[in-house]
């Protein structure tokens, strides 16, 4: 369980540091409730990658992105419940790969919970785009959750069953 917890802590710290740098230093937006979902500030890094300031008051990809302050509380409580379930799963994880995948998801989920408690919304700032189409803005926590979920699916599909004979 230890490697998963260490990865969760690393993801949480790096996520919060990156959000602090973007929100407090680079973008310096108004308060979350006075700022539209996307601000006009866009910093081009590469032809297909920009930094933007987006507040996600909903879940993944902006689903349920509403202005209700109760939304942040409900989503935070749901996330904490999921984290508890994932920590229980992590204790019984069959492999180090599953433990690390769960650690990434837990760290990312907690990073977004911190945002909802602090700002009432999740700070998203990574914008990938091509030919005029933009992927919804995301952050390091979202990346850790997505990578962890993909690893869990791949493990479920391709992991060899244990060969213990009873």
- The whole-number pLDDT of residue 33 equals 46
Question: pLDDT for 78-92, tens place per residue?
Answer: 899 999 999 999 999
d(CA 99, CA 8): 10
Is residue 10 a contact partner of residue 107, using CB atoms and an 8 Å limit?
yes
Instruction: Please name which of 1, 4, 2 lies closest in space to residue 151, comparing C-alpha atoms.
Output: 4
What are the DSSP calls for 97-108, one per residue? HHHHHHHHHHHH
- Domains of the chain, by residue range, sit at 2-158
Is residue 64 a contact partner of residue 37, using CB atoms and an 8 Å limit?
no
pTM of the model: 0.83
Question: pLDDT for 21-80, tens place per residue?
Answer: 998 888 765 555 455 555 557 788 899 999 988 888 876 555 556 566 667 778 888 899
- The whole-number pLDDT of residue 30 equals 55
CA angle 3, 111, 41 (to 5 degrees): 135
- Residue 143 pLDDT > 60: yes
Helix axes 140-158, 2-19, angle to 10 degrees: 150
- The whole-number pLDDT of residue 134 equals 86
Above pLDDT 70, what percent of the chain?
81
Average pLDDT over residues 15-24: 92
Active-site positions?
124, 142
d(CA 148, CA 21): 24
Least confident of 11-25, 50-64, 94-108, 148-162: 50-64
Strand partners, 122: 56
Question: pLDDT for 123-140, tens place per residue?
Answer: 999 999 999 888 888 999
d(CA 111, CA 90): 18
SS3 label, residue 40:
strand
């Amino acid at each position: 369980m230890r490697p998963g917890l260490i990865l969760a802590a690393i993801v949480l710290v790096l996520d919060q540091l990156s959000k602090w740098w973007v929100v407090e230093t680079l973008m310096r937006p108004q308060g979350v409730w006075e700022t539209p979902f996307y601000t006009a500030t866009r910093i081009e890094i590469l032809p297909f990658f920009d930094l933007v300031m987006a507040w996600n008051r909903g879940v993944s990809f902006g689903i349920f992105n509403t202005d209700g302050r109760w939304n942040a509380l409900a989503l935070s409580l749901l996330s904490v419940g999921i984290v508890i379930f994932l920590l229980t799963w992590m204790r019984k994880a069959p492999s180090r790969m599953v433990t690390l995948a769960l650690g990434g998801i837990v760290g990312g989920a907690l990073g977004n919970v911190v945002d909802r408690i602090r700002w009432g919304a999740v700070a998203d700032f990574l914008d990938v785009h091509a030919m005029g189409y933009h992927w919804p803005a995301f952050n390091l926590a979202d990346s850790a959750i997505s990578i962890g979920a993909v690893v869990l699916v791949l493990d479920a599909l391709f992991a060899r069953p244990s060969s213990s004979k009873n």
